[in-house]
Structure 1
Amino acid sequence: MTTTPLSTASALLRPVTAGALQAPNRIWMAPLTRNRANPDGTPNALQAEYYGQRAGAGVIIAEGSQPSAVGQGYPNTPGLHTDEQQEGWRRIAEAVHAGGGRIVVQLMHAGRISHSSTIGGQVPVAPSAVRAAGEAVTVTGLQPFSEPRELRTDELAGVVAEYADAARRAVAAGLDGVELHAANGYLLHQFLADGVNARTDGYGGSAANRARFVVEVAAAVSAAIGADRVGIRISPLNPFNDIAEDDVSVYEVLTAQLAELGLAYLHLLAAPGDPIIEKLRAVWPSTLVLNTGFGVESDRDQLDRLVADGVADAVTVGRPFIANPDLVLRWTRGAELNEPDPATFYAGGAKGYTDYPALS
């Protein structure tokens, strides 16, 4: 598919600042699980090549990476809790910076969206002992999600500390920051969701209580590496991974408290025109990054209008970046796009990962 070149005055091509991130354009790469890390969660040379190829993105938000062993949800996802994993991320940071890019890593604790076989026989943890409907991807095939155990109140500080330690490792590896994954049904989202969080302590019940753990994680990570290197992703009312939530007010409460921390950006997953965008924009003082749909095809010209109209300050794009390492250049020139191969999205080697051609 080809289109007309972007105007030199395009809003998408203007630089934008998000805390310590100085992005040359507003077309950011969304975090995309690709299951290419080594079995022990160590990022490898193939991943360094993949991210280095995509250094033209305004900012690369690297795939969800577990801050602890029990936080892993899928096979061959990278982690950030061992020295070997940290060294793997150092190679990725060097590859992206060599291409003039910027990269943050998304810290993703899967919580109940896991299976005990993926985490060495441990029991997944969650805000409440509520098994998610659906099946987990494991090395032996699909299996029903394991029933999680409820995190004790006295354990929560330890989980917060794991996030902070992973963030310190990210910066020590040379990455430009981290994004906290509080979306798509993973641990932080599980605490926010009134249909999943059934706690009766200070972390359940009211909107303020359900937001509390997420705010504590964000505060600890900010103290560890600086709030200007921290972003957060949320997806209000997104039912993915068996999330059920009716009380959207938790997101206004959460966003207002996060705003006081001075985070670099808020990454919001919402369809254009969703009233939640305007509600959160009103209480978020800094950079707002918008993803217009989980698994929805990105429309370049629509994204340009959203930024031009001030709905968002930047946008994230997923699948087009899979098949087009030079997506920003292709969109700028109006060049034809490579088509992604869904059969290679999750797991595998170079095919469908690093072998998509760039423009000559």
Structure 2
Amino acid sequence: MAVQEYAHLLSAGRIGKLALRNRIIVTAMGVNLAEPDGTCGERMLAYHEEQARGGAALVNTGTAGVAWPVGGNMPNQVALSDDRFIPGLAAVAAAVHAHGARFSVQLHHGGPVAMQDMLAGRPVWVPSLPAMPTRDFTQAFLLDELAAAPFSKIGAFTYQVMTREDIALVVAQFATAAVRATSPVR
């Protein structure tokens, strides 16, 4: 692997109007580092600050729940369903910006894979009832992995086919979370 193959990696770049110092981007991942109440604490701040310090031009939080805890896919998922989550995200953004990087948030609602709804006994929202699986998905995992996975604690759960009102609610939740994600600390 020659350096020449990646000659533009450290060149400035753009995503639309967003100027980036290079083309190294930390994409959205489910890092599960938020506090149990959905806020961004020291672990999340240190994790993303280190990415910016290390040279990434754009750092993404990973999935941020627009209806948290409803629709959550992880126990320590970032939340953006209420104004009380803004200060923690703003602190992470400030730490990332201090190292010359940009910061973004991936808005999320788990829908049919909302593991936190399954664990809490809430119906899982789906656009239509899914087909029955043709094979057991657990065959792809080792027994130790299955025992340690959050879904090992999920019992029976129910699907709820979304109504037009449910869909409108989730659209509004995404819109409100987008406003929060781009707002200064209130």
TM-score of the superposition, structure 2-length normalised? 0.78
Count of aligned pairs: 169
The residue aligned with 1:183 is none
The residue aligned with 1:161 is 172
Equivalent residue in structure 2 for 1:13, among 7, 10, 14:
10
Q: Distance in 1 between matches of 2:81 and 2:22?
A: 31
Instruction: Give the deviation of 1:82 after TM superposition.
Output: 1.9
Change (3 A) 1:103 1:94: same
Q: Distance in 1 between matches of 2:25 and 2:125?
A: 32
Once the two structures are superposed, the pairs formed by residues 71-220 of structure 1 within 5 Å of their partners are: 71-115=71-115, 116-118=117-119, 120-130=120-130, 134=137, 137-138=149-150, 141-143=152-154, 146-173=157-184
What are the Cα deviations for residues 213-236 of structure 1, in whole angstroms up to 9, with x where unaligned? xxxxxxxxxxxxxxxxxxxxxxxx
Instruction: Give the deviation of 1:91 after TM superposition.
Output: 1.0
Q: Is the 8 A contact 2:129 2:159 kept in 1?
A: yes
Q: Is the 8 A contact 2:21 2:101 kept in 1?
A: no
Q: Is the 8 A contact 1:113 1:132 kept in 2?
A: no
What are the Cα deviations for residues 170-229 of structure 1, in whole angstroms up to 9, with x where unaligned? 11157xxxxxxxxxxxxxxxxxxxxxxxxxxxxxxxxxxxxxxxxxxxxxxxxxxxxxxx
Instruction: Give the deviation of 1:40 after TM superposition.
Output: 1.5
Aligned residue for 2:32, secondary structure, equals: coil
Q: Distance in 2 between matches of 1:129 and 1:91?
A: 41
What are the Cα deviations for residues 120-172 of structure 1, in whole angstroms up to 9, with x where unaligned? 4421211113278557953x844367332111023212111100111111111
Q: Is the 8 A contact 1:129 1:148 kept in 2?
A: yes
TM-score of the superposition, structure 1-length normalised? 0.43
Q: Distance in 2 between matches of 1:101 and 1:22?
A: 10
Change (3 A) 1:74 1:112: same
Q: Is the 8 A contact 1:16 1:22 kept in 2?
A: yes
Q: Distance in 2 between matches of 1:81 and 1:131?
A: 31
Change (3 A) 1:15 1:146: farther
What are the Cα deviations for residues 62-95 of structure 1, in whole angstroms up to 9, with x where unaligned? 2111110222112111111122322211111011
Q: Distance in 1 between matches of 2:29 and 2:177?
A: 19
Q: Which amino acid aligns with 1:153?
A: R
Change (3 A) 1:151 1:104: same
Q: Distance in 2 between matches of 1:48 and 1:28?
A: 17
What are the Cα deviations for residues 300-342 of structure 1, in whole angstroms up to 9, with x where unaligned? xxxxxxxxxxxxxxxxxxxxxxxxxxxxxxxxxxxxxxxxxxx
Q: Is the 8 A contact 1:62 1:105 kept in 2?
A: yes
Change (3 A) 1:63 1:129: same
Q: Distance in 1 between matches of 2:122 and 2:109?
A: 14
| Percent identical | 29
Aligned residue for 1:125, secondary structure, equals: strand
Structure 1 unaligned residues grouped into runs of 5+: 175-360
Q: Is the 8 A contact 1:105 1:170 kept in 2?
A: yes
Instruction: Give the deviation of 1:14 after TM superposition.
Output: 2.0
Structure 1 residue 62 corresponds to structure 2 residue 73: no
